[in-house]
Amino acid sequence: MRRGDPIARLLADASLNADPFDEYERVRAAGPVKRTKLMSGTVSHAVASEVLRSPTFGVGGGHGELPPFTRRVLSKVMDPDAMGPMDPPSLLAVDPPAHGRYRRLVSREFTARSVTALEQRITEIAEGLLDEMARGGASQWDVVEAYASRLPVVVIADLLGVPERWQADILVWGNDAAMLLEPLLGWRNYRTAEKAVRRLNVWFDQHIENLRRDPGTDLLSRLATTSDEERLDQHELRALGLLVLGAGFETTVNLIGNGVVQLDRHRDQLELLREKPELWPNAVEEVLRHDSPVQMTLRSAYDDVEVQGQALTKGEPVVVFLGGANRDPAVFTDPQVFDVARENASDHLAFSSGAHYCLGAGLARLEGTIALRTLFERYPDLQVSGPTERRATRVLRGYEHVPVAV
């Protein structure tokens, strides 16, 4: 039995990367909210939903609500080139009402119709990557390196108009920058992440400039060249580019990789999908629930407040363990069981909830479904063929390497 503060351990103990689920149960046993000296945490689906949706909780930045002059001065002091995906004006770091304006302008580009229109292109990308592997003739490959990490990059590159020659660099910088999502980062990792963010910011400035001069049909070109009076400024545009880049591929790669491993471990579920391919979208919901690619997020109470009978004080940070809420037995029967036919699988909080609900949820669902279905339809006997290697991250849950034989 482990001792000590379970919240601190869930934030920082790398030995929990592979399996944080017993620790989540310790937190659950303590009641709807576990309060510790450092911060509070919850794995309750009801509490998580309430915290994420309540206007009394925020992401803590709040700079979006400052008057423009103060913002300008602040952003200079804070060195705008060093601003990462968790700093304002990134959507993730801004509270309503400023968040609402920003989100409205961007979400026009993420409608269900525009996502559905990408179906054929995503299928082409998936087939193309598998053709490339088949031409190489190898019967064993790393499915994360060759497929899961490449597909989302190409999709996001299309969305942001990133030329092909830049995609390899963008992948490396994006990977490094994503470390900034981790709650506790060593100094060396921090320096690497910060360097990557600076490169990306400078690169995005130039890229947006190029798109203004010679726009394509991509989302970023449309946002950069709109003549709407209410449009994103340069800072907001590059922050959006940075966020969509990180949010878009650092998470989806994990959805695909986690899906391959779970389906390999549960061959009966794969058999069921073969008999009933219409279950594929639900299988993706179940991967998102059972192995949530984003395991946690953070909110602060902006006032004294009571949540599900638990009093919290103004300023109290609350870690919302999405991965733990997604295994709450009050909502999911036998939550530890991986069941692609689970009726309420999509009640998960893997895409968060409330104002910051994932903007790319529809796209991620479509990518996950196409990627996994295309892979297993082409290679029904695909098997994990060696030791897998997990990513060394606590917020993001996924694999660095998954060797497979086809």
Contact residues toward ligand HEM (CB under 6 A) are: 91-92, 103, 156, 243-244, 247-248, 251-252, 255, 293-294, 297, 350-352, 356, 358-360, 363-364
Read off φ and ψ for residue 311, nearest 5 degrees. Answer: -80, 135
Least distance from ligand HEM to the Cβ atom of residue 134, Å: 26
Least distance from ligand HEM to the Cβ atom of residue 226, Å: 18
Helix (H, G, I), strand (E, B) or coil at 305: strand
Give Cβ neighbours of residue 139 (< 8 Å, ≥ 6 apart): 405, 406
Beta strand 399-401 with 57-58 is unpaired
Q: Which residue, 374 or 406, is less far from ligand HEM as judged by CB?
A: 374
Residue 193, CA distances (Å) to 82, 177, 385 in order: 10, 4, 32
Beta strand 317-321 with 40-42 is parallel
Q: Which residue, 224 or 406, is less far from ligand HEM as judged by CB?
A: 224
- What is the distance between the alpha carbons of residues 131 and 147, in angstroms, rounded to a whole number? 11
What ranges in 108-233 are assigned the alpha helix state H?
A: 112-116, 119-136, 143, 150-160, 167-177, 187-213, 219-225
- What is the distance between the alpha carbons of residues 73 and 64, in angstroms, rounded to a whole number? 13
DSSP 59-73: -S--GGGS-HHHHHH
Least distance from ligand HEM to the Cβ atom of residue 300, Å: 12
For residue 192, count other CB atoms closer than 10 A to its CB.
16
Least distance from ligand HEM to the Cβ atom of residue 357, Å: 7
Q: Which residue, 331 or 363, is less far from ligand HEM as judged by CB?
A: 363
Q: Which residue has the tokens 């039995």?
A: 1
Instruction: Report CA torsion sign: 288, 289, 293, 297.
Output: positive
Tell me the residue number closest to ligand HEM, measured at CB. Answer: 360
Least distance from ligand HEM to the Cβ atom of residue 222, Å: 14
Q: Counting Cβ atoms within 10 Å, is residue 400 exposed (0-12), middle (13-18) or buried (19+)?
A: middle
Residue 391, CA distances (Å) to 14, 17, 118, 251, 293 in order: 10, 8, 29, 12, 11
Helix (H, G, I), strand (E, B) or coil at 256: helix
Q: Which residue, 208 or 255, is less far from ligand HEM as judged by CB?
A: 255
Least distance from ligand HEM to the Cβ atom of residue 293, Å: 4
Are 244 and 156 spatial neighbours (Cβ–Cβ below 8 Å)? yes
Least distance from ligand HEM to the Cβ atom of residue 359, Å: 4
Least distance from ligand HEM to the Cβ atom of residue 57, Å: 10
Least distance from ligand HEM to the Cβ atom of residue 297, Å: 4
Are 223 and 212 spatial neighbours (Cβ–Cβ below 8 Å)? no
Least distance from ligand HEM to the Cβ atom of residue 41, Å: 14
